[in-house]
Amino acid sequence: MMDIAIRPYRVEDAKPVFEAIEESKDDIMQWMPWCHPDYSIEDSKSYLAISVTGFERGEIYDFAVLRDGHFVGACGLNQVNVIEGVANMGYWLRSSEAGNGIMPMAAKKVINWAFENTELNRIEIVAAVGNNRSQRVAEKIGAHKDAVLAKRILIDGKPCSAVLYSVIKD
């Protein structure tokens, strides 16, 4: 049995984050605009600094995903709209860990944490129409498929349609 846990990102995660991204660029790059061929440990360090400060300010809630205690990816809430109580969820997993149902478990934990610890009422997932793996995660956690939005997401610098999913607090 796998043990899947989440905990807030720490600045010390720079090395495992970089190593996981380095291994997984082919899978991540096409869907996540921050990931690029020259992604470096400096990129991880500067993002983690923003993320850790953002968590303290209630602007970003990024979590490391751990499988049996090892860093395997990240799942977080960004675009936090405190006025409306809405946020966007993003996630990525290192390629060698894909297909074991890790991210659906982690995403559920992040959502439960958010509904228990923040004023958020609605969490959205926006997945490119071609990103079947991300859409499967949304479906597995019971997210509702709300709509297909035209030119909602940048893929390779081009605006593309995306599926909007939502999870609502009871």
Ligand X SMILES: CC(C)(COP(=O)(O)OP(=O)(O)OC[C@H]1O[C@@H](n2cnc3c(N)ncnc32)[C@H](O)[C@@H]1OP(=O)(O)O)[C@@H](O)C(=O)NCCC(=O)NCCS
Binding site for ligand X (CB under 6 A): 27-28, 31-32, 90-93, 98-104, 127, 131-134, 136-137, 140
Minimum Å gap between C-beta 8 and ligand X is: 19
Nearer to ligand X, 33 or 53 (CB): 33
The answer to whether residues 122 and 168 touch, using CB atoms and an 8 Å cutoff, is yes
Minimum Å gap between C-beta 105 and ligand X is: 8
Which residue has the closest beta carbon to ligand X?
Answer: 99
Nearer to ligand X, 2 or 119 (CB): 2
Q: How many residues does the chain have?
A: 170
Minimum Å gap between C-beta 113 and ligand X is: 18
The answer to whether residues 132 and 140 touch, using CB atoms and an 8 Å cutoff, is no
Minimum Å gap between C-beta 63 and ligand X is: 13
Nearer to ligand X, 56 or 158 (CB): 158
